[in-house]
Amino acid sequence: MCLAVPGKLIERDGHSGTVDVRGNRVQARLDVVPDVRLGDYVLVHAGFAISVLSDDEAAEALDLLDDPDEAMPHDGPLMP
Partner 1 sequence: MTARSCHDLCRRIARRIEALPDRPVRLMEVCGTHTVAIHRAGLRGLLPPRLRLVSGPGCPVCVTPQTYVDALIELAGRPGVRVATYGDMIRVPGRSTTLERAMARGARVSVVYSIMEALSLARQAPAEQVVFAGVGFETTAPATAVGLKLAADERLANFTVLSAHKLIIPAMTALLESGDLAIDGFLCPGHVSVIIGADAYKPLAARFARPCVVAGFEAEEILRAIDLLVAQLADGRAEVENAYARVVTADGNRRAWALIEETFEPADTPWRGLGTIPGSGLAIRAELAHLDAARRFGLEITAREDDHGCRCGEVIRGAIEPPECPLFARTCTPANPVGPCMVSREGNCQACYKYSRAL
Residue 64 CB, shortest distance to partner 1, in Å, is 6
Question: Reduced to 3 states, what is the DSSP secondary structure of residue 18?
Answer: strand
Residue 60 CB, shortest distance to partner 1, in Å, is 6
Site residues (vs partner 1, CB under 8 A): 1-4, 27, 29, 31-34, 43, 45-48, 50-51, 53-54, 56-57, 60-61, 64, 67, 69-70, 72-73, 75-80
With respect to partner 1, which residue has the nearer C-beta, 4 or 20?
A: 4
- Residue 77 has phi, psi (to 5 degrees) of -60, 145
Q: Which residues of 24-34 are buried (b: 16+ CB within 10 A; e: fewer)?
A: eeeebbbeebe
